[in-house]
Amino acid sequence: MRPTFHFTANGWINDPHGITFDGDRYHVFFQYVPDSVVWSMNCSWGHASGRDLFSLAELPPALTPGDGDDGVWSGSLLVTDDGSPRILYTSVSSENPAIGRIRTATAKDEGWITWEKGAVVATAPEQLPVKVFRDPVIIPDEAGWRMLVGAGLAEKTAAALGFTSPDGATWVADGVVASRSSADRDPVWSGSMWECPQIVEIDGVHALIVSVWDEDELFDVVYALGDFDDGSFTPRSWGNLSHGPSPYAATTFRDAQDRPCLMFWLRGVEGDDWNGAHSLPYVITTVGDRLVLSPHPDLDRYHDAGAGGEAADILWPEHVHTTLTIRDRGVVALEINRVGQHLRVLSSENAHTLPWAGDVRVILDGPILEISSHAGVFAAPITPLSAGWELVGRGHELRRLRQHARA
């Protein structure tokens, strides 16, 4: 069964990126290997669009290998002052895919369907001991634009490297924005290379969000709250944003109401002709020294008290302490217990323990289980439920999700 409220495409997908609201529709781009359920270096930029973040329809790929690119990897999108969209992406070669080059592309039509590749505008700075270089992310800057690129430096040091531009077209290296040794593990470990590094301002506080890579293995998404000034980020506190085997490659964006938001790639979720999904979109806020993700309110439009079906959004208030149990055909398919400051998740596949704080949201969507609280986001594949499943336990609010057409 394919999920309804988590985006999938025909083939392999991974990192979402370049998520943009153009004033009328959302555009979501993503790493894509068409017609294959296995990752390959020769990725494309997939493209989907919809009126909201839960009604995305797949479009032709925006960028594909060729014209000097053996692979078109993750990147970002900016909209210039005249309203023109510009992609900045990682161009990789088969000879050394670890060291990418940052290249541009511009839209040739109003629907952002056809794109024309441009020049290479940034490469790994020669004065730094760069071992890995990819994933440009663009953020506004007082003087124009700033670009963060994920890097792994010598001696197992993860970093975000900075570049500046007055117009989004010409870029100049601006040094190391932030870095951290893989030897540092208190209070979280952030690996030897940062993928998809980005800085976003929430409630007057700056957050650095990175996806943890180490020796070709993918781990968690972590964040630091701190101060961002004159191209340098100084962390004050660190925390985990994701938990479990699935969420990775987080990307931030602004929604139609200009709220800071975030979406993950979900690993390990697959079907006969598709592999990989995107998480729910989340609105980002802060509570004390913690970054908090809440399911995007667009999901509320699909609540239907009279609907049947498999997909659901379950609210578990903080003050409710009873176990949440899902029965399907008379058999326990999912059980979630609160044990101290942790949730113990038991499904027919496996067991997981994750931290929790505040209210909990449990999303069931075909083969995907997604759980969020003030302590972060957990996701994992599950066996899809039948239409007749039932929620057992007092105090949990069940909101069925109605089916909808992609648009």
Mark whether 77 and 130 lie in a shared domain. Answer: yes
> Mind listing the pLDDT tens digit for each residue in 147-168?
999 999 999 999 999 999 999 9
Residue 8 above 90 pLDDT?
yes
Mark whether 254 and 108 lie in a shared domain. Answer: yes
Q: Is residue 50 part of a domain?
A: yes
Dihedral angle, C-alpha 282, 284, 288, 289, nearest 10 °: 100
Tell me what the pLDDT averaged over the chain comes to.
95
Average pLDDT on 18-38 reads 96
Beta strands in 142-287 (DSSP E): 144-153, 157-165, 172-181, 193-202, 205-214, 217-229, 232-240, 242-243, 247-254, 260-270, 274-278, 282-287
Where residue 405 falls among pLDDT bands split at 50, 70, 90? very low
Average pLDDT on 204-220 reads 96
Q: Is residue 406 part of a domain?
A: no
Interatomic CA distance for residues 152 and 43, integer angstroms: 21
Mark whether 194 and 254 lie in a shared domain. Answer: yes
Q: How much is the pTM?
A: 0.96
Mark whether 73 and 111 lie in a shared domain. Answer: yes
Residue type, 402: R
Length of the chain: 407
Q: Residues near 269 by Cβ (< 8 Å), separated by ≥ 6?
A: 3, 6, 246, 275, 276, 277, 367, 368, 381
What pLDDT does 308 receive?
A: 66
> Mind listing the pLDDT tens digit for each residue in 232-282?
999 999 999 999 999 999 999 999 999 999 999 999 999 999 999 999 999
Residue 52 above 90 pLDDT?
yes
- What DSSP string describes 215-253? TTEEEEEEEEEEEEETTEEEEEEEEE-EESSSEEEEEEE
Domain end marker among 250, 275, 297: 297
Mark whether 178 and 230 lie in a shared domain. Answer: yes
Mark whether 113 and 29 lie in a shared domain. Answer: yes
Residue 348 above 90 pLDDT?
no
Domain count, the chain: 2
Domain end marker among 297, 318, 346: 297
Mark whether 265 and 391 lie in a shared domain. Answer: no
Mark whether 280 and 378 lie in a shared domain. Answer: no
Q: Is residue 5 part of a domain?
A: no
> Distance from CA of residue 42 to its chain's centroid?
21
Sign of the four-CA dihedral 109, 110, 115, 116: positive
Mark whether 235 and 380 lie in a shared domain. Answer: no
Domain that holds residue 203: 11-297
Domain end marker among 282, 297, 312: 297
Mark whether 328 and 228 lie in a shared domain. Answer: no
Which CATH number do you get for residue 385?
Answer: 2.60.120.560
Mark whether 319 and 270 lie in a shared domain. Answer: no
Tokens linked to 276: 């990989």
| Placement of tokens 């990307």 in the chain | 251
What pLDDT does 307 receive?
A: 65
